Structure 1
Amino acid sequence: MATALGSPKEEQQCRIGGGGGGGAVQAIAMLGATAVTAQAAYRARRVPWDLTFVLFAYATLGLLFLCLSMYERLPPPEQEEENGDDDDDDGAVVRRRLKMAVWALSTALSVAFAWRVAAVMPAPALKAAVWGMTSTVVVAGFYVLFVYRPAAISSYSELDTCKEEETLPKLNQIL
């Protein structure tokens, strides 16, 4: 299979993170989150519920980053079919489990933050608004990850951002 980028290795690097720079961005993001968490944990050290919230949010965010990076490293579904990896569709099972983990972790973070924000809202209507927005985000996330299937896209490779010339006509067709 010939590609505009040259080798399949170059295409995979482009898909995973622009030549390997994605890992550095994630590491910097986690270092920033660690610094902010350490500062917040220090300030909350005398209030157990606040400290628990800070540590829960940090652990959940770390797990979310881990699941997302694992998902990004999976080959596209079409590539699994081309390589003959049809043993009970293990790639699809892993992909589905990682999607479930990402949704569960993002839901847990959303609910935790909504709980904290709603606790400081002065009016019941504002508390209801916070919970309503959080519920909308959770349900929309579930819909996008598990229910919605775009019909106009025939394969993941057509939406590969590294193939801009091939992608733009397909995206214009969708819009």
Structure 2
Amino acid sequence: MDEVLLEEPANQAALKNHDGHWPSLLTVAGFVFLTFNSVMVVYRSNGDMGAISFVVFSYLDLVALFYFLRQFERTPAESPRREHIKMAVWLLTTMLTTAFSYKVAEVMPLPVQVVVWAMAGVTVLGGFYAFFLHREATKA
């Protein structure tokens, strides 16, 4: 065990996932792109606290969502922890759906606002059904 620790520098071990694989280039590029765009929006917001709050909330929500999705993928199917992670994923997606629906609906006329909120509600309820109520039929 000590030999393995000596062969691998400490700063490189932190970059690896728990399963020993490096994050993919696409994953790193995606987070760099997301971070850069978020910083640019905050910089160009001219101190608009509503815009800054929305961007910071969305950024943190997405980072947490990607983290919990990765945890969900790693957790064994029979683990009770999987249900807790599923709840966190559903709550994070619900919050993100609500935030984006609010931003879209505030610039739309009333009939379109109703459609936006109806679509958001169907999405949230559909996600709840898919995550917690629907059970796949077992094949005989």
TM range, normalised to the smaller chain? Answer: 0.7 to 0.9
The answer to whether 1:33 aligns with 2:34 is: yes
Stretches of structure 1 that go unaligned for 5 or more consecutive residues are 1-18, 78-90, 155-175
Residue aligned with 1:120, SS: coil
How many angstroms apart in 2 are the aligned matches of 1:153 and 1:46? 57
1:119 maps to which residue? 106
2:11 maps to which residue? none
Identity %: 33
2:3 maps to which residue? none
2:115 maps to which residue? 129
1:68-109 Cα shifts (integer Å, max 9, x gaps): 0111111232xxxxxxxxxxxxx22x1011000000000000
The change in CA–CA distance for 1:55 and 1:143 in structure 2 (over 3 A counts) is same
Task: Give the aligned residue type for 2:111.
Answer: A
The answer to whether 1:148 aligns with 2:129 is: no
1:70 maps to which residue? 71
Residue aligned with 1:149, SS: coil
RMSD, aligned α-carbons? 1.8
Residue aligned with 1:67, SS: helix
How many angstroms apart in 1 are the aligned matches of 2:103 and 2:116? 10
The answer to whether 1:51 aligns with 2:49 is: no
Where relative contact order (Cα < 8 A, 6+ residues apart) is larger, the structure is: 1
Task: Give the aligned residue type for 2:89.
Answer: V
TM-score, with structure 1 as normaliser: 0.64
How many angstroms apart in 2 are the aligned matches of 1:134 and 1:64? 18
Stretches of structure 2 that go unaligned for 5 or more consecutive residues are 1-19
Q: How many residues align?
A: 120
1:95 maps to which residue? 82
| 1:153 Cα deviation from its structure 2 partner | 5.0
1:12 maps to which residue? none
8 Å CA contact retained: 2:76, 2:82: no
Please list every run of at least 4 consecutive aligned residues from structure 1 whose deviation after the TM superposition is greater than 2 angstroms. 25-28
